[in-house]
Amino acid sequence: MSFVAAERQGAVEIITINRPEALNALNADVLGDLKAAFEAVDQQAVRCVIVTGAGSKSFVAGADIAAMSTMTQAEAEAFGKLGNDIFRMIETFPLPVIAAVNGFALGGGCELSMCCDFRICSENAMFGQPEVGLGITPGFGGTQRLARLVGPGMAKQLIYTARNIKAEEALRIGLVNAVYPAEELMPAALKIAAGIAKNAPIAVRHCKQAINEGLETGMDQAVVIEEKLFGKCFETHDQKEGMGAFLEKRKEKNFTNC
Ligand code: DAK
């Protein structure tokens, strides 16, 4: 897996796009390695995944323009499907995924960050969907996820103008949750991940599923999705442990992911 590095720190898996000579641009090999890295995550032991980019300059500067430049229509569609399938796998991954955006998140990079559960970034981060300036549309879900995250009006303005935005503006429009000095980004991501990891993993997973699936449907159906997942928690050891700890006034909880 030369283009993607994976490292475990306790219950947190850090997945790093590692092609710094091209500002971590995504070609088919990088996408394949990213898929393999997610497939290799130990879902019993790991409680949260962080996705970031190698180097101090770029998260991911987009899909690889050189690789795309000579594609036929059929090849472009296949490339779009490759990326979309992997990004959808990340979006529906049974563990929370945090994007720690450490620089450029342009085009496919912005799209990668948006298929994660939420984004935090460094002060030097820059977001944008510059595709129309290259004569193409966003192709890894950008038209869909940006509109859902920041609203259709803001998404349309950003996509039609191909304007890149800095971290503070990304914060203001709700694309990122927080901005940190570069050296504080990964410690902050790990702290958030640790805060997630101490909670009941099955409950966290069900929350992710309820939010994701509920947003895709009407409220009547959405609350039924929540009811079902809430009910499923009562089959778990961790529900008994969490509620038992409260009733016994016990601070320590032994969540076992079952
Ligand atoms: N692709 C390939 N190489 C890239 C790259 C990219 N997206 N971004 C940077 N690089 C490479 C540069 O070519 C350069 O390589 P060398 O010349 O050294 O060999 C190296 O990374 C360093 O870049 P710069 O020298 O340009 O560095 P600067 O600091 O001067 O500028 C920059 C940084 C991020 C402003 C600049 O590199 C830049 O503008 N990069 C392109 C950003 C961009 O336009 N990104 C969006 C790409 S389009 C679809 C599927 C997917 C997509 C669309 C459709 N379908 C199949 C339908 C997605 C599209 C995109 O993501």
- Same domain, residue pair 27 and 69: yes
Instruction: Give the H or E element holding residue 166.
Output: strand 165-166
Evaluate: CB of 76 within 6 angstroms of ligand 1.
yes
Q: How many domains does the chain have?
A: 2
235 catalytic residue (yes or no): no
Rounded distance from Cα 112 to ligand 1 centre (Å): 14
Q: How far is CA 114 from CA 9, 187, 196, 254, in A?
A: 24, 21, 19, 32
**Which residue, by CA, sits nearest to atom 13 of ligand 1?**
22
Give the atom of ligand 1 at the shortest distance from the alpha carbon of 104: 34
- Same domain, residue pair 176 and 55: yes
Answer for the pair 54, 102: CB distance below 8 angstroms, yes or no: no
- Please state, in angstroms and rounded to a whole number, the distance separating the CA atoms of residues 244 and 247: 5
184 catalytic residue (yes or no): no
Q: What's the per-residue H, E or C state across 74-139?
A: HHHHHHHHHHHHHHHHHHCCCCCEEEEECCEEECHHHHHHHHCCEEEEECCCEEECCHHHHCCCCC
- Same domain, residue pair 90 and 130: yes
Give the model's pLDDT for residue 1.
55
Instruction: Give the H or E element holding residue 50.
Output: strand 48-53
Give the model's pLDDT for residue 13.
98
CB neighbours of residue 159 within 10 Å: 20
- Please state, in angstroms and rounded to a whole number, the distance separating the CA atoms of residues 239 and 258: 9
What CATH number should be reported for the domain holding residue 225? 1.10.12.10
- Same domain, residue pair 37 and 95: yes
- Same domain, residue pair 228 and 109: no
Reading the block at residue 210, the tokens are: 């309820």
**Which residue, by CA, sits nearest to atom 17 of ligand 1?**
22
Reading the block at residue 58, the tokens are: 């770029």
Angle (CA) 176-180-182 rounded to 5° is 115
- Please state, in angstroms and rounded to a whole number, the distance separating the CA atoms of residues 97 and 104: 19
- Same domain, residue pair 74 and 97: yes
Each residue's pLDDT tens digit, 236-250: 999 999 999 999 999
Instruction: Give the H or E element holding residue 34.
Output: helix 28-39
The parts of the chain modelled with pLDDT lower than 70 are 1
Tell me the best of 18, 19, 65 to mutate to test the pocket of ligand 1, counting ligand atoms within 8 Å of each CB and taking the most. Answer: 65
Residue 8 Cα to chain centre, angstroms = 17
- Same domain, residue pair 189 and 148: yes
* Contacting residues for 200 by C-beta, under 8 A, at least 6 apart: 233, 236, 238, 239, 241, 242, 255
- Same domain, residue pair 85 and 164: yes
Each residue's pLDDT tens digit, 112-157: 999 999 999 999 999 999 999 999 999 999 999 999 999 999 999 9
Reading the block at residue 10, the tokens are: 């306790």
Domain with 219 in it: 201-248
- Please state, in angstroms and rounded to a whole number, the distance separating the CA atoms of residues 75 and 139: 12
Residue 73 Cα to chain centre, angstroms = 28
Evaluate: CB of 141 within 6 angstroms of ligand 1.
no
Answer for the pair 182, 120: CB distance below 8 angstroms, yes or no: no
Evaluate: CB of 23 within 6 angstroms of ligand 1.
yes
